[in-house]
Amino acid sequence: MISSKAINIFSKVIEHYHIIDDINQKYYNPYKKKTIENLLHKKVWIDTIQWHLEDIIRDPNIDVKYALKIKREIDLSNQNRTDIVEQVDDYFLNLYSDVKIKKNAKINTESPAWALDRLSILQLKIYHMNEEASRTTSSIENRAGCLSKLKILMEQNTDLSLSIDQLLLEIGSGEKIMKVYKQMKMYNDVNLNPILYKKKA
């Protein structure tokens, strides 16, 4: 099932990142290009770096110039995240291109790739919540609260995994329609963001 494959990749990448725990560390993808494994590996790496960028920028004493640099990196990361999700959806569109759609087939509220996007972020939440639940410098109350939240995250992990696998089974059997819409973000496009195209004129 795709969810177990994804969780395995996501978890290994997150653990690997935290060996050095540096947003500027070198990235290496061991999987062949254009494979789903390669795409999922890239996906969670982007998410992991962004998770820590989001932590950094919330430092109340951060230098203003450095904060702007981090904000720009977050903006770029958000675009990269969207791009890789759309590549994952392209993979599934191609995979299920020959499926015969049943007469009463339905459309899902989100595509498989955006569901996997949520699964990737969920693994980061689980990793860091577990870290906080185990942190000995934290209060007993805080650790207990984190442990309670971790249990909910683990339940969500089970439910989301099952939902993703069911969705792909239904797409593969023609019961659900594999249909996606590109995000068409406008603020990064020099021709669509008025702040950018007015400066260009």
Q: What's the pLDDT at 179? A: 85
Alpha-carbon span 185 to 75, nearest angstrom: 12
Q: What's the pLDDT at 201? A: 65
Tokens of 92: 């599934």
Q: What's the pLDDT at 193? A: 79
H-assigned helices in the chain: 2-20, 36-57, 64-95, 112-133, 140-172, 194-200
DSSP 110: S
Q: Report how many domains make up the chain.
A: 1
pTM for the whole thing?
Answer: 0.92
H-assigned helices in 96-193: 112-133, 140-172
Backbone dihedral angles phi then psi of residue 30, each to the nearest 5 degrees: -80, -10
Q: What's the pLDDT at 197? A: 74
Alpha-carbon span 148 to 133, nearest angstrom: 9
**Which portions of the chain are predicted below pLDDT 70?**
201
* Apex 83 CA angle, 30 and 48, nearest 5: 55
Alpha-carbon span 164 to 6, nearest angstrom: 11
pLDDT tens-digit map of 55-110? 999 999 999 999 999 999 999 999 999 999 999 999 999 999 999 999 999 999 99
Judged on CB neighbours under 10 Å (0-12, 13-18, 19+), 84 is buried
**Domain assignment of residue 26, given as a range:** 2-200
